[in-house]
Amino acid sequence: MRENLLPLHAEFARDFARDWIDAWNSHNLDRILAHYDEGVILTSPVAAKLLNGDGTVRGKASLRKYFQRGLEAYPNVRFDLIDVLWGMETIVLYYVNNVRGTKTAEVMLMNAAGKVRQVWANYDQ
């Protein structure tokens, strides 16, 4: 892997998206978390609801707990990628959650090593 992945390129974005989706569909928490920086910040209305807070999850350890709750609440969760978009430092994953029947777009700000350092989750419901 190149030392500095910024600016992003189509091949990296597509590979990242496929691997991220496959990790979630495997339900392997360590594999999922491998995509995230230690200091990651996630902002999501689902996090606000599940955690009774402001919707912000800070740090990989807290993200692990949040994702674990999600996998326990939805043991059959499966995502299907609709599209991936990329910019200079961001990737947008647009996918369907087949358990809930909803669409999600996650805007991911990447670090130079190709890990997610900040993410904003957006839902259709």
pLDDT at residue number 2: 46
pLDDT at residue number 3: 58
| Alpha helices, H only, the chain | 10-26, 29-33, 45-51, 60-73
Burial code (b: 16+ CB inside 10 Å, e: under 16) for 35-50 equals bbbeebbbbbeebeee
pLDDT at residue number 125: 79
Per-residue pLDDT of 33-85, as tens digits, reads 999 999 999 999 999 988 889 999 999 999 999 999 999 989 999 999 999 99
3-state SS class at 35:
coil
Mean pLDDT in the chain? 94
pTM: 0.93
Band the pLDDT of 1: cuts 50, 70, 90: very low
